[in-house]
Structure 1
Amino acid sequence: MIISASRRTDIPAFFGDWFINRIKEGFAMYRNPMRPSQVFAVSLLPEDVDAIVFWTKNPKNFLEKLKYLENYIYYFQFTITPYGKDIEPNIPPKDEVVQTFIELSNLIGKKRVIWRYDPIIITDKMPLSYHKEKFEELCEKLAPYTQKCIISYVDFYSKAVDELNKINAKDFSADELYNVFGAIGSIGKRYNLSVETCAEDVSIEQLGLKKAHCVDGDLIRELRKEKGFYEVKEYKKDNNQRKACGCAQSIDLGIFNTCKHFCTYCYANFSRSSIVKNVEKYDEKSPLLCSYLDLEKDEIRIKEKDGSRKIEKDNILQKKFNELKTLEQRSFCTMEEVFSKEGSNDWLEKKVLEYLEKLR
Structure 2
Amino acid sequence: MILYSSMRTDIPAFYSDWFYNRIADGRVLVRNPYYPQHVSQYRLTPDVVDIFYFLTKNPEPMLSRLDRLKAFRTFWHITLTPYQRDIEPNVPDKRDIVRAFKALSRRVGADRVEWRYDPIFVTGQYSVAYHIDAFEKLASALEGATHRCVINFIDLYQKVRKNFPEVTPITASQRQAISAAIVKSCRAHGMIPCACASNGDLAAVGFDCSGCMTKEKVERLYHEAIDPPASRIGAGTGALAGCPCITGYDIGAYNTCPHGCRYCYANYDLETVRTNYRKHDPAAPFLIGGSLPDDILHDAHHTSWMTGQLTLF
TM-score, scaled relative to structure 2? 0.89
- Distance in 2 separating the partners of 1:199 and 1:164: 26
The structure number with the bigger radius of gyration is 1
1:113 Cα offset (Å): 0.9
Question: Is contact 1:9-1:268 (8 Å) kept?
Answer: yes
1:260 Cα offset (Å): 0.6
User: Which residue of structure 2 lines up, in the alignment, with residue 351 of structure 1?
Assistant: none
The 5 A counterparts of 1:1-360 are 1-166=1-166, 169-173=167-171, 176-198=174-196, 200-211=198-209, 213-225=211-223, 230-234=224-228, 236-238=232-234, 239-295=237-293, 297-304=294-301
Question: Is contact 2:198-2:240 (8 Å) kept?
Answer: no
- Distance in 2 separating the partners of 1:5 and 1:232: 20
* Structure 2: unaligned runs, 5 residues or longer: 304-313
* Structure 1: unaligned runs, 5 residues or longer: 307-360
- Cα deviation digits, residues 194-232 of structure 1 (max 9, x gap): 11113644512221211253334333323332xxxx444
Question: Is contact 2:80-2:117 (8 Å) kept?
Answer: yes
Question: Is contact 2:76-2:113 (8 Å) kept?
Answer: yes
Question: Is contact 2:163-2:269 (8 Å) kept?
Answer: no
1:2 Cα offset (Å): 0.3
- Distance in 2 separating the partners of 1:19 and 1:219: 26
- Distance in 2 separating the partners of 1:152 and 1:232: 27
- Distance in 2 separating the partners of 1:71 and 1:9: 24
Counterpart amino acid of 2:183? Answer: G
Judging changes above 3 Å, is the alpha-carbon distance between structure 1 residues 76 and 305 closer, same or farther for their aligned structure 2 residues?
same
| Matched position secondary structure for 2:17 | helix
1:176 Cα offset (Å): 4.9
| Matched position secondary structure for 2:300 | strand
Which of 144-153 and 243-252 deviates more? 243-252
TM-score, scaled relative to structure 1? 0.78
1:149 Cα offset (Å): 0.2
Which of 59-68 and 181-190 deviates more? 181-190
User: Which residue of structure 1 lines up, in the alignment, with residue 306 of structure 2?
Assistant: none
- Cα deviation digits, residues 170-196 of structure 1 (max 9, x gap): 302556534432332222122221111
Question: Is contact 2:39-2:298 (8 Å) kept?
Answer: yes
Which structure has more relative contact order (CA 8 Å, sep 6+)? It is: 2
| Matched position secondary structure for 1:131 | helix
Question: Is contact 2:121-2:170 (8 Å) kept?
Answer: no
Taking only aligned residues, the RMSD between alpha carbons, in angstroms, comes to 1.9
Which of 285-294 and 81-90 deviates more? 285-294
Judging changes above 3 Å, is the alpha-carbon distance between structure 1 residues 304 and 202 closer, same or farther for their aligned structure 2 residues?
closer
- Cα deviation digits, residues 211-265 of structure 1 (max 9, x gap): 253334333323332xxxx444346424222224443120100000100100000
Question: Is contact 1:150-1:212 (8 Å) kept?
Answer: no
Counterpart amino acid of 2:297? Answer: I
Which of 284-293 and 46-55 deviates more? 284-293
1:18 Cα offset (Å): 1.0
